[in-house]
Amino acid sequence: MKKAFKVMNELRSQNLLCDVTIVAEDMEIAAHRVVLAACSPYFHAMFTGEMSESRAKRIRIKEVDGWTLRILIDYIYTAEIQVTEENVQVLLPAAGLLQLQDVKRTCCEFLESQLHPVNCLGIRAFADMHACTDLLNKANTYAEQHFSDVVLSEEYLNLGVEQVCSLISSDKLTIASEEKVFEAVIAWVNHDKDVRQELMARLMEHVRLPLLSREYLVQRVEEEILVKNSSACKDYLIEAMKYHLLPTEQRALMKSTRTKLRTPASLPKLMMVVGGQAPKAIRSVECYDFKEERWHQVAELPSRRCRAGMVYMGGMVYAVGGFNGSLRVRTVDSYDPVKDQWTSVANMQDRRSTLGAAVLNGLLYAVGGFDGSTGLSSVEVYNLKTNEWFHVAPMNTRRSSVGVGVVGGKLYAVGGYDGASRQCLSSVECYDANTNEWSYVAEMSTRRSGAGVGVLNNLLYAVGGHDGPLVRKSVEVFNPVTCTWKQVADMNMCRRNAGVCAVNGLLYVVGGDDGSCNLSTVEYYNPTTDKWTVVSSCMSTGRSYAGVTVIDKPL
Ligand SMILES: *[C@@H]1O[C@H](CO)[C@@H](O)[C@H](O)[C@H]1NC(C)=O
Ligand SMILES: *[C@@H]1O[C@H](CO)[C@@H](O)[C@H](O)[C@H]1NC(C)=O
Ligand SMILES: *[C@@H]1O[C@H](CO)[C@@H](O)[C@H](O)[C@H]1NC(C)=O
Reply yes or no on whether the pLDDT at 555 is more than 70.
Answer: no
CB atoms within 10 A of CB 62: 7
Which residue has the least CA distance to atom 13 on ligand 2? 517
d(C-alpha 76, C-alpha 550), whole Å: 47
Q: Band the pLDDT of 314: cuts 50, 70, 90.
A: confident
How far apart CA 175 and CA 147 sit, in angstroms, is 7
Query: Quick one: which ligand is closest to 325's CA?
Result: 3
DSSP summary character for residue 478: E
334 lies in the same domain as 468: yes
Same domain, residue pair 394 and 526: yes
- Percent of the chain having pLDDT more than 90? 89
Domain match, 3 and 87 both = yes
Three-state SS for 361?
A: coil
Ligand 1 pocket test, pick from 197, 228, 231 with the greatest ligand atom count within 8 Å of Cβ, gives: 197
386 and 305, same domain (yes or no)? yes
153 within a domain of the structure (yes/no) = no
**Residue 177 lies inside a defined structural domain of this protein:** yes
Q: Do 431 and 519 share a domain, yes or no?
A: yes
Is the domain of 355 the same as that of 485? yes
Question: Cα dist. 147→150, 172, 331 in Å?
Answer: 5, 10, 35
Q: Taking residues 169-192, report their average pLDDT.
A: 94
Is it the case that residue 248 has pLDDT exceeding 90?
no
Q: What total number of domains does the chain contain?
A: 3
Q: How confident is the model at residue 52 (pLDDT cuts 50, 70, 90)?
A: confident
Report the separation in Å between the CA atom of 331 and the middle of ligand 3, taken as the mean of its atom positions: 11
Closest ligand 3 atom to 303 CA? 14
Whether 353 is covered by a domain: the verdict is yes
Cβ partners under 8 Å of residue 286, min gap 6: 272, 273, 295, 296, 297, 298, 539, 540
515 lines ligand 2 (CB under 6 A): no
Q: Which atom of ligand 2 is nearest to the CA of 545?
A: 5
Closest residue CA from atom 2 of ligand 3 = 327
What CATH number has the domain bearing residue 15? 3.30.710.10
The runs of H, that is alpha helices, within 246-331 are 248-251
Q: Is the CB of 305 under 6 A from ligand 3?
A: no
Domain-embedded: residue 513: yes
Q: Are residues 246 and 273 in the same domain?
A: no
Residue nearest to ligand 3 atom 9, measured at CA: 326
Whose CA is closest to atom 10 on ligand 2? 279
For the segment 479-508, the average pLDDT, to the nearest whole number, is 95
Q: How confident is the model at residue 446, as a pLDDT? A: 96
**Per-residue pLDDT at 10:** 97
Distances (CA, A) of 209 to 175, 241, 260, 291, 456: 14, 9, 10, 36, 31
Pair 60, 101 in one domain: yes
Q: What is the pTM of this model?
A: 0.65
Measured distance CA(512)–CA(458) in Å, rounded: 24
Give per-residue pLDDT as tens, 341-397.
Answer: 999 999 999 999 999 999 998 899 999 999 999 999 999 999 998 999 999 999 999
Same domain membership, residue 363 and residue 296: yes
DSSP conformation letters of 84-146: -TTTHHHHHHHHHHTT-HHHHHHHHHHHHHT--TTTHHHHHHHHHHTT-HHHHHHHHHHHHHT
Residues 363 and 402 in one domain: yes
Phi, psi of 15 (to 5 degrees): 55, 40
Residue 267: pLDDT over 80: no
Q: Which domain holds residue 415?
A: 269-552
Domain assignment of residue 82, yes or no? yes
Mean pLDDT of the chain: 94
Residues 406, 491, single domain; the answer is yes
Q: Whose CA is nearest to atom 6 of ligand 3?
A: 327
C-beta 279 within 6 A of ligand 2: yes
CA of 304 to the centre of ligand 3 (A): 9
Query: Within a domain: residue 56?
Result: yes
Kindly state if the Cβ of 353 falls inside 6 Å of ligand 2. Answer: no
Q: What is the CATH number of the domain that holds 164?
A: 1.25.40.420
Instruction: Tell me if 61 is assigned to some domain.
Output: yes
202 CA → ligand 1 middle, Å: 16
pLDDT tier, 156 (very low <50, low <70, confident <90, very high otherwise): very high
Q: What is the CATH number of the domain that holds 335?
A: 2.120.10.80
Q: Among 354, 495, 513, say which to mutate for ligand 2: greatest number of ligand atoms within 8 Å of CB.
A: 513
Q: Which of 465, 466, 488 is nearest to 477 (CA)?
A: 488
**Burial status of residue 390 (CB atoms within 10 A of its CB: 0-12, 13-18, 19 or more):** exposed
